[in-house]
Chains A and B, each alone.
Chain A
Amino acid sequence: MTTGPIIHIENVHKRFGRVHALRGVNLQVQKGEVLVIVGPSGSGKSTLLRCINRLEEYDNGHITVDGICLDSTQNINAVREEIGIVFQSFNLFAHLTVMDNLLLAQKVVRRRKKEEAKDIALNLLEKVGIPEKAYAYPAHLSGGQQQRVAIARALAMNPRIMLFDEPTSALDPEMIKEVLDVMLALAKEGMTMVVVSHEMGFARAAAKRIIFMDEGQIIEEAPPEELFSNPKHERTKLFLSKVLQG
């Protein structure tokens, strides 16, 4: 166990060809903290999130997660076993049942026995509220249900950190709450979470800090109430006025 921040990001740069997506990002996340990142599209928030488990490589700077250095591909799978990620588009394995979605990585990566893995999976499905869909295929689930399965799939690996990449952006409005409720419960349990999302309600209820990003940089960070009611930077104000309007 390490003391101090569980995620340590130092001066990270990322370029996609000529686009400078991340311009020197510094960020620390404490164990058990829930951090919400907001910002306009193209601001680099998803890129930053994906750098934390190296789905995206970064060009300069250092990232350390739970004491494991991410600057080379060497520790990549060790880190990914520690971090769960939930995607905007769910990305459930389309050819497998919900149960097999939850079992696959447990068997292949964690090398758990089938019975043990199945117990874990059923427990998690109960936790996210859809034990009755255990043997359905992803195509037969609603978006909200798929996203909850995706959360359960990530949790089955016992991650120490959970990343959420706009988990509710692809959902119909009436399904957003069921996903946010699962995330809130997770936050209450003390899971370390980094969430890219514009769900202000979730941020208010769960996050200690909000970070506003624009053009690849962190512009402002503050507790949710403060950032929403009293933003300091012009760009934050402009962004919030657009988002809160809707």
Chain B
Amino acid sequence: MFTRREPKIAEQELTRIPGAEPQSHMDVWWWLVALVAGVIVLLSVLEPDPYWRVILFVRDGLWVTVFLTLVSFVFVLLVGLLGGLGRLSKNRAINLVATLYVELVRGVPLLVQLIWWYFAFPVIIQQIGRWTHISALVTYQANAILLAVVGMVFCYGAYMSEIYRAGIQSIPKGQMEAARSLGMTYFQAMRHVVLPQAIRVILPPVGNEFIALLKDSSLVSVVAVADMTRRGREFMATHFNPIEVWTMVALLYLVMTLFSARLVNWLERRTKFER
């Protein structure tokens, strides 16, 4: 046995993806995030009543908003992947189901969908329970948080399906062919070759969806979920100071969305590669 010369240095130098070298300076828009955060701090220090009190009051709602958004988004990514693959499937039935899902769901406002899931869906379940004599279904009670997540996942999953579909379609067909010709199955080729490349393409629109979801999660305040928007309304109802409450709530949303946008931007630069 002879020992082979290992190109160790070259490996360390180049295994990093081109263009992904750590940035020496921070993206200037981070200052905007810092500015908004600064305004929030400043207001709560200079005018603790009512600003700091608003923050304390909506704090639990803020966590509900963050929790709802993160949990929903994880499922949106999964549903979107399934929907996207379904839209690309050559199997007629799967393709039809996926297309119907996307087309129908995209045509109904999210607010209407959330209301439907919270008010109509439980009644349907109870009715089915009565027909089938399953008492567990008859006594089914709506879980507001659960149905809010279901509603958002159902709606955003449809949009996400289209993003996945476009992303996968943007990868040259030859990549899939090369992978399949090496003996990989369809799913192996998807997982190791097509999706890793597609993800870099769809990262910007996926990031947009995340931010849109974060903002749209405020709609759940009408279906009995105590998110930040609902807590803000409750505070206003007892103290009647709309300017301070809604300015603070808006600033809190803003700091979250701006931060997310920076995060997406950073991820984008991290994962860039040349074609």
A residues near B, CB below 8 A?
53, 55, 77, 80-81, 83-85, 87, 89, 91-95, 97, 104-105, 108-110, 119, 122, 131-132, 134-137, 139-140, 150, 153-154, 157
22 A-B pairs in the complex with CB atoms less than 8 angstroms apart: A53-B181, A55-B177, A77-B185, A80-B180, A80-B181, A87-B178, A89-B172, A91-B172, A93-B178, A93-B193, A94-B175, A94-B273, A95-B17, A95-B200, A97-B14, A105-B183, A108-B184, A109-B183, A109-B188, A135-B13, A137-B14, A139-B275
Quick check: is B10 within 8 A (CB to CB) of the other chain?
Answer: yes
> Once the chains bind, are A91 and B178 in contact (CB under 8 Å)?
yes
Quick check: is B197 within 8 A (CB to CB) of the other chain?
Answer: yes
> Once the chains bind, are B15 and A91 in contact (CB under 8 Å)?
no
Name the prevailing secondary structure of the B interface residues.
helix
> Once the chains bind, are B182 and A153 in contact (CB under 8 Å)?
yes
What residues of chain B lie closer than 8 Å to A150, measured between beta carbons?
178
The closest CB in chain B to the CB of A131 belongs to B7
> Once the chains bind, are A55 and B182 in contact (CB under 8 Å)?
no
List the count of A-B residue pairs having beta carbons below 8 Å apart.
Answer: 90
Quick check: is B18 within 8 A (CB to CB) of the other chain?
Answer: yes
What residues of chain B lie closer than 8 Å to A109, measured between beta carbons?
182-184, 188
What residues of chain A lie closer than 8 Å to B17, measured between beta carbons?
95, 137
What residues of chain A lie closer than 8 Å to B27, measured between beta carbons?
none
Take A105-B182, A105-B183, A105-B184 as given contacts and tell me if A135 and B175 are in contact as well, using a CB distance cutoff of 8 Å: no
> Once the chains bind, are B177 and A91 in contact (CB under 8 Å)?
yes
One digit per residue, 1 when the CB lies within 8 angstroms of any chain A CB and 0 when it does not, for chain B 162-182 equals 000000000010110111111
Quick check: is B269 within 8 A (CB to CB) of the other chain?
Answer: no
What residues of chain B lie closer than 8 Å to A92, measured between beta carbons?
178
The number of chain B residues with a CB under 8 A from chain A is: 30
What residues of chain B lie closer than 8 Å to A131, measured between beta carbons?
7
Quick check: is B130 within 8 A (CB to CB) of the other chain?
Answer: no
Selected contact of A89 from candidates B4, B15, B174, CB within 8 Å: B174
Least distance between A136 CB and chain B CB atoms (Å): 6
Least distance between A110 CB and chain B CB atoms (Å): 8
What residues of chain B lie closer than 8 Å to A104, measured between beta carbons?
182, 192-193
One digit per residue, 1 when the CB lies within 8 angstroms of any chain A CB and 0 when it does not, for chain B 28-51 equals 000000000000000000000000
What residues of chain B lie closer than 8 Å to A53, measured between beta carbons?
181
Task: List which B113-172 residues lie within 8 A (CB) of chain A.
Answer: 172
Selected contact of B274 from candidates A84, A135, A139, CB within 8 Å: A139
Quick check: is B242 within 8 A (CB to CB) of the other chain?
Answer: no
What residues of chain A lie closer than 8 Å to B178, measured between beta carbons?
87, 91-93, 150
- Which of B178, B182, B183: most chain A Cβ within 10 A? B182
Rounded to whole angstroms, the CA-CA distance of A104 and B183 in the bound complex is 11
Least distance between B13 CB and chain A CB atoms (Å): 8
Quick check: is B196 within 8 A (CB to CB) of the other chain?
Answer: yes
Least distance between B252 CB and chain A CB atoms (Å): 38
Q: With A81-B183, A91-B174, A94-B274 given, can you name 10 additional A-B contacts, CB distance below 8 Å?
A: A53-B181, A91-B175, A91-B177, A94-B273, A95-B196, A119-B4, A136-B14, A139-B18, A139-B274, A140-B274
The closest CB in chain A to the CB of B189 belongs to A108
Take A87-B174, A137-B274, A140-B18 as given contacts and tell me if A132 and B185 are in contact as well, using a CB distance cutoff of 8 Å: no
What residues of chain B lie closer than 8 Å to A119, measured between beta carbons?
4
What residues of chain A lie closer than 8 Å to B11, measured between beta carbons?
135
What residues of chain A lie closer than 8 Å to B14, measured between beta carbons?
97, 135-137
Rounded to whole angstroms, the CA-CA distance of A108 and B7 in the bound complex is 24
Rounded to whole angstroms, the CA-CA distance of A201 and B188 in the bound complex is 39
Least distance between A223 CB and chain B CB atoms (Å): 30
Least distance between B1 CB and chain A CB atoms (Å): 11
What residues of chain A lie closer than 8 Å to B10, measured between beta carbons?
132, 134-135
Least distance between B233 CB and chain A CB atoms (Å): 47
Least distance between A25 CB and chain B CB atoms (Å): 20
The closest CB in chain A to the CB of B191 belongs to A108
What residues of chain B lie closer than 8 Å to A55, measured between beta carbons?
177, 180-181
Rounded to whole angstroms, the CA-CA distance of A85 and B172 in the bound complex is 17
What residues of chain B lie closer than 8 Å to A135, measured between beta carbons?
7, 10-11, 13-15
Minimum-distance CB pairs A-B, first 8:
A105-B182, A91-B178, A91-B174, A139-B274, A81-B183, A109-B183, A135-B14, A80-B183
Least distance between A77 CB and chain B CB atoms (Å): 5
One digit per residue, 1 when the CB lies within 8 angstroms of any chain A CB and 0 when it does not, for chain B 253-273 equals 000000000000000000001
Take A55-B177, A137-B274 as given contacts and tell me if A122 and B4 are in contact as well, using a CB distance cutoff of 8 Å: yes
> Once the chains bind, are B273 and A93 in contact (CB under 8 Å)?
no
Task: List which B48-92 residues lie within 8 A (CB) of chain A.
Answer: none
The closest CB in chain B to the CB of A106 belongs to B182
